[in-house]
A and B are shown apart, each in its own frame.
Chain A
């Protein structure tokens, strides 16, 4: 057992999830593989979306995986950083838009 919650080497073991529940694990990885195939969106576009979401989800495994995936696909660091900002902007926007709720409540409670 590692003495920290996140070990980069654990990412290599992700596939082993299937060993404890073959049916669900296989279904998940089939689905996952299908999602990232070239479709209405290119595999390149999907990789950038995944990178942005990896950041908003604060998933260190996903950040490692999709930074590497981006490099493999020839995505530049400028493109990667813009994608991260898209995620960050949505995160901050999601916080800030609640300000409207605050304004609504404030006005309702105030004379």
Chain B
């Protein structure tokens, strides 16, 4: 189990350009596999263009209490990139005036940002329809100061989306670290006690499933049925939806793929599973991702690869939705992760 980020270890793959060299080179440069660009050009989607903006996804910092093996953010306790209140204020101005109906806070563990609660309180006032916080669950049990998070989320009608790699202890702890499973179960039970995830409840609790290794997620509905049955029978836990998300070959997951000699097979699997009907709905077509320091990206993955939007407007301080929406989305071979099978996004499948 990793204890430090790639960045703290000074690894090559902590550098975005090194990752892009791998994604653009090797089996793609050799012509063994087609570039993503060529595949989407065949169906008239190159250059990939945004549709109506629906989701503002704000990454409030890369600090996290966990060091998950598959993390595309390379997040961890040693990451110091944290959004300041000043940048949050710039975000709030945008949130008040945006046409997007969903605000999606992510990280790292967003709750570890010292201004997280202030930001949630202020953002909730903007009356955005769906206000998501991506919580890793264990943060709720990590320290006393976080114990009241379920009540805080409920007070502001926050939609909680949480990672849960498997309904068994072994698989969960292997991906996320020892003890993660038990803490996650306890956190889910506490959320249920507040009404989160209960049948018919407006307090939305969804789970995110990522495969714990070099394979793609199976059918989302079948996995959801398995998760619901097991979590209910074993722990009396309820939740609303399960989102099956494909791991993208970025940062720590890319490092893992290469170290375990699975990189080529994984890229083959992604390309083989390429589903043209997902392309029109990939999440970069309705999302803007904002980094801790206010830069704008097509998605959280491009953020980690430091691929800023191809627009005159590149920073939250200059935000202009019309100008931003008139842009070409930046793509590379990691994008195959969002078009495999039924597709993958932060909201699950897209096909």
Q: Are the C-beta atoms of A72 and B215 separated by less than 8 Å?
A: yes
Q: Are the C-beta atoms of B222 and A71 separated by less than 8 Å?
A: no
Query: Which residues, 25 to 39 on A, are CB-close (under 8 Å) to B?
Result: 38
**B211 — which chain A residues lie within 8 A by C-beta?**
71-72
Interchain CA distance A36-B222 in the complex, whole Å? 14
Q: Are the C-beta atoms of A76 and B218 separated by less than 8 Å?
A: no
Q: Are the C-beta atoms of B216 and A74 separated by less than 8 Å?
A: no
Query: In whole Å, how far is A82's beta carbon from the nearest beta carbon of chain B?
Result: 15
Q: How many residues of B contact A (CB 8 A)?
A: 19
Contact A74 to B213, CB < 8 A, known contacts A42-B222, A43-B219, A43-B222: no
**B212 — which chain A residues lie within 8 A by C-beta?**
71
Chain A interface category by residue count: 10 to 19
**B28 — which chain A residues lie within 8 A by C-beta?**
none
Q: Are the C-beta atoms of B215 and A74 separated by less than 8 Å?
A: no
Whether A44 sits at the interface, judged by CB under 8 Å, is yes
Query: Which residues, 157 to 175 on B, are CB-close (under 8 Å) to A?
Result: 166-168, 170-171
Interchain CA distance A71-B213 in the complex, whole Å? 9
The 8 A CB mask of A52-96 against B (1 = contact, 0 = none) is 000000000000000010011110100000000000000000000
Query: Which residues, 169 to 221 on B, are CB-close (under 8 Å) to A?
Result: 170-171, 211-213, 215-219
Q: Are the C-beta atoms of B215 and A44 separated by less than 8 Å?
A: no
Query: Which residues in A have some Cβ–Cβ distance to B below 8 Å?
Result: 12, 38, 42-44, 68, 71-74, 76
Identify 8 new A-B residue pairs, CB closer than 8 A, beyond the known A43-B222, A73-B222: A12-B268, A44-B226, A71-B213, A72-B217, A73-B219, A73-B223, A74-B226, A76-B168
